[in-house]
Chain A
């Protein structure tokens, strides 16, 4: 499996996805090697998954950096293949495409490509650089024997953008490892984040336009008017962090909004459990793993009715849907949840039940190995 990000290197949800999927594959008896970025070349072993860390080089931009990394990953794959014959290569998102396609061509292996989001959806295709990323996504879908998309709506997006043959296109949702939440013994000190009487409204994600942080900040005054006990915790980092901090200041919300920056895994898991409600005001969200994480932590979620959140949140059952890019709607749904503690807690418990039933990694891994079989021509 090739992925640039694998814990502890983590920017978006791909690192967690690859971590959980690889461990579940290993539990099922598959021999899994991960080729992932690292600042020095070394091999690690976790839970029967072998992780080969590969450095890249100085490059002027992320695309060139990923190209060079891909070339080095490919050479590593050849070395490993001589000892431990691979049967398939599985790559993730455009940054994994150079390595994935290179390995496919050199070792004559079937290629599975999981696409987690598109450049078109994230920032739009508006210059040569974004066009190149869009082209790499297309190239991945073109060269892959099978494509996995992580959301039903998103599957349509990929279909309409890249026009792959229908028999190559699959939809498999993300999963969540509930045990990671249940077994986390680390506890953040709630007093560092909120006063005793305050209720924590938690946002976790990259601080970018795509995640709708601006809409949340603009919703905050309307929430505080009705629910003055709300305290907004913004966990994560991103290119737009400074802008959002300035926006919070201009809205005079300094004491009601806390930017925590990047949280380590154990802090993040504890933060979910410490919060009262989770919010995901995304403008674009192919899957939205945060809805599963809130469920695993037994917390209700207010999330945009967009992409994967349409299916992962059941409105008024496991959480509430707000309209995308609509701060008033975000405020309205947060106020509904904050005004009825019992209902909010019930939605959290029901979210947990749904996650336990439909989004376990064992189930998702079974579907994924089914796609591997299709790619390898086993069921043709």
Chain B
């Protein structure tokens, strides 16, 4: 008997940063609009730093807030992720997402946790790695550990350029078959993502 192919219907995108004119913003927004146009129910959960009035068009945007300052970006991010987890868990109570797509280490803790909770596949986009950013911070090693865990637990990883592929292979020990280069300046990059979505749910 032929196996029935499942179709993507609902996607949850998680991102710590969502500020206009940033790469991550363009990436998440373009992807969400593309999916929305295809009638795939798409939700983005992001941190709201009150610098943007962005509202959603063809997708759902959930801005979470977090009131602690934190003594460094790593510690602040780990705590801020608790609010992304809460929101994601609440959304899952009424929406059965097919895939969780997380962006960078800043939302990876929430992505990993919610993927484990729901048993849904986790897709990770690394816009760059800590090693590429110079590994200059005191917390670089622990940030890199989060990146390692996220690539390890993700079903598939996207990166923007061949340089990042080399970094994820060398520094995060990711097997070649688990990573895809995705240049967002090239045509059809969204379709490539959609293909991977379908691959991981089937």
Contacts and interface: CB of A to CB of B under 8 A. Distances in A.
B139 A135 contact: no
Interface in A69-128: 70-71, 74-75, 78-79, 98, 101-102, 105-108, 128
Chief secondary structure at chain B's binding surface: helix
B200 interface: no
B71 interface: yes
A105 B142 contact: no
Contacts of A129: 71
7 contacts: A58-B145, A63-B71, A64-B72, A64-B74, A67-B75, A68-B146, A98-B79
A58 B70 contact: no
B137 to A, nearest CB: 9
Contacts, number: 77
A57 interface: yes
Contacts of B114: 106
B138 A105 contact: no
- By CB atoms of chain A within 10 A, which of B113, B139, B141 has the most? B113
Interface in B72-88: 72, 74-75, 78-79, 81-83, 85-86
A27 interface: no
A60 interface: yes
Interface in B31-56: none
B117 interface: yes
Given A68-B142, A78-B116, A135-B70, 4 more contacts: A59-B139, A61-B138, A68-B146, A105-B89
A64 B139 contact: yes
A105 B139 contact: no
Contact of B141 (A59, A107, A108, A139): A59
Nearest to A102: B82
B79 to A, nearest CB: 7
B117 A106 contact: yes
Interface of A: 57-61, 63-65, 67-68, 70-71, 74-75, 78-79, 98, 101-102, 105-108, 128-129, 131-132, 135, 139
Contacts of A71: 78, 109, 112-113, 146
Contact of B85 (A59, A64, A102): A102
B113 A102 contact: yes
Contact of A128 (B71, B81, B116, B142): B71
B109 A101 contact: no
Given A75-B112, A98-B79, A106-B114, A64 B86 contact: no
Contacts of B138: 60-61
B57 interface: no
B86 A57 contact: no
Contacts of A70: 78
Contact of B74 (A67, A101, A128): A67
A34 B116 CA distance: 20
B5 interface: no
Nearest to A143: B82
B194 interface: no
A139 B78 contact: no
Nearest to B137: A60
B139 A75 contact: no
A144 to B, nearest CB: 13
A59 B139 CA distance: 7
A344 to B, nearest CB: 48
Interface string B134-160: 000011011001100000000000000
B139 A60 contact: yes
Contacts of A78: 113, 116-117
